[in-house]
Chains A and B, each alone.
Chain A
Amino acid sequence: MKYRFIVDPVLCTGCRTCELACAFSHARNLKQGRSRIYPLTHEKDKYVPVVCLQCDDAACVKSCMFDALRRNEETGAIDLDVARCVKCMACIAACPFGCALVDEVHNEIVKCDLCKGDPACAHFCPSKALRYTKIAVR
């Protein structure tokens, strides 16, 4: 059994609570961080929360020449080891979903880390469009 992060756009109301939750859960020095999740609208009143899908065969992991992106077997997230990152931007260019991001304030690469096993977005999502649940993984 493994945890999986589930995005259900049908339930998304576009309230953007997830964005706030993400920014504050990644706060640094009491200042909000860069949100890793984007509730984007694709049609009027229809929303898709775009967030890292933690792909199995992830392009970001493949593109990182310095092994800074690695799967965290506990949470299932692909974690960025900031100490190994040299900001070459390969992951940002390679991610087909645009979910590896630059935090211009701290001059860092950031990506969703599933809040180390307790995703704040899922925690606060009022409509349960974002869920972090146990599912059977082959």
Chain B
Amino acid sequence: MRITSAEHLTQLQKEYQKEAAKFPRKILVCLGPGCLAAGSDRIYDAFLNHIAQRNIKGITVEAVKKTGCHGLCTQGPLVTIEPDGLFYTRIQAKGVPEIIEKTLEKNEVITKLLYSTPGKSQKIEKWADIPFYSHQMRIGLRNVGQIDPENIKDYVAVGGYQALAKALTMTPEQVISEVKTSGLRGRGGAGFPTGKKWETCRKVDSDIRYVICNGDEGDPGAFMDRCIMEGDPHSVLEGMIICAHAVGSISGYIYVREEYPLAILNLQKAIEAAREFGLLGKNILGSGLNFDIKISRGGGAFVCGESSALMRSVAGEVGEPRAKYIRSVIKGLHDKPTVLNNVESFATVPVIINEGGKKFASIGTPRSTGTKAFSLAGKINNTGLIEVPMGISLREIIFDIGGGIPDGRKFKAVQTGGPSGGCLPESKLDLPVDFDSLTEAGSMMGSGGMIIMDDRTCMVDVAKYFLGFLVEESCGKCVPCREGLYQLHALCVRITEGKGEPGDLELMEKLSKYIQLGSLCGLGQSGPNPFMSTLEHFREEYEAHINHKKCPAGVCRALIKYEIIDACTGCLACIPVCPVGAITGEKKKKHFINQAICDQCGSCYAVCQFDAIEVK
């Protein structure tokens, strides 16, 4: 079926809303990456089977929906029952009959499945009351977790493609001016004003222009784009089509990494459905606009998130950056003007068109408008996906939304901006989260990954990890990045092994400076950031490693030893887990670790229930 006009689209929207209203009660099963890993697909099947078997009034299999990520991944698998807003956590497939029986049939709430704030016993029934959700503001993620991503009707029913219909009544210049008014800055990390990018692209004289969506989310611990592509692919498509109208493009690509098979699948289904509905292809919505999108699958190289490397990869060449003295918006894919935006940026565009740029600009800070999605990972209670207005403080994100640090440990640092970002210590927690403040503090916004670390994290080890990641992911084209990061990493390894020498830090600082200055692309230019920011805020930790041969956090294996203290009850638990057989002892007598054999693996430390093993 083809939608031929804006009126036709509105008519369809009403039709689908009516259809949806037949099932007032909806069971939304989260099939986001976290819940899926915990087996939520089996839960979905269980709901379908059991509902099909029973005959419950007002509940049919159509009411069970698989959706994208709900956000609170740490509590998964998650199920939301709408319109009640009931929020069930940690569901197992065998618990599904109970939910159907009690909640769906008898309207009873199953208390044991409810969420409770870490450290408190009080159970919260509705998701909207959970602090994790109540502090959020969802624009880019508006439909993620609410609709079935595989069903275009769901998207149309919630007002999807209405922004496109509206944009098509506007001139391209009006669309660009609206986006400029919104102050939207690229969500991929660099924060380039989107409206300006589109305007530049439109002004370049060329027969062909391309629109590319960057879905090559490579930062460790980041999954915002993945969740949008998996959970609400149509919003990305809609944003791209609006962009195509604005810049005058007929061909678009979505570059997705091969590691996201579900995102590719859902996008592919969305593209096919959009083509069938006449939202892609020739004469979109009867407006005369021609535009089609292809999916380009990347091999999962981190550097392919860099614009010039990405465009080379799309063109089928080796994904290596090239020097950008001519910007890709003027000479990009196949040397034609190209707009490259992040998934989140495109997903935000329909809202800007619908609600107006001014309204969007009123959210956030004057120079960083709107909202930003973040993924919380690491030592934090509420691991998951969030979206907050810009300008919110790090403290609010970590403690109010994230629920603080588990096990009552102390907060030490938060890593923002992915491997090329930096670590911010507690003193920077009240920093507003926006593009400029984070850059000023020595970190960066990046694509929105946030890794939280507690006091058991060694910052030298963290720097070593991220540098190691960058050494692996450096494309190897230019020397400062290929050889410089390798040497920086090697020096870091040397320090963690207790072989650091005085003067190493100065050498590393100098090297970092010239890697930043001399590298070809953003990967190298920001490559030393993990080292630079940890050194700036945790210099004493580096010095302890080098001068005193001590790892204060007790992480670096070459610099610590495990010792059994008097709290030992002689339970024998640690003896069998030691892989090298270093622990000896008898029942009910204090055990002993032979330091000559011990290789500091930490297995005994992990298994001891009496805190009788100490790291020294």
Whether chain A touches chain B in the assembled complex (some CB pair under 8 Å): no
A residues whose Cβ falls under 8 Å from a Cβ of B: none
B residues whose Cβ falls under 8 Å from a Cβ of A: none
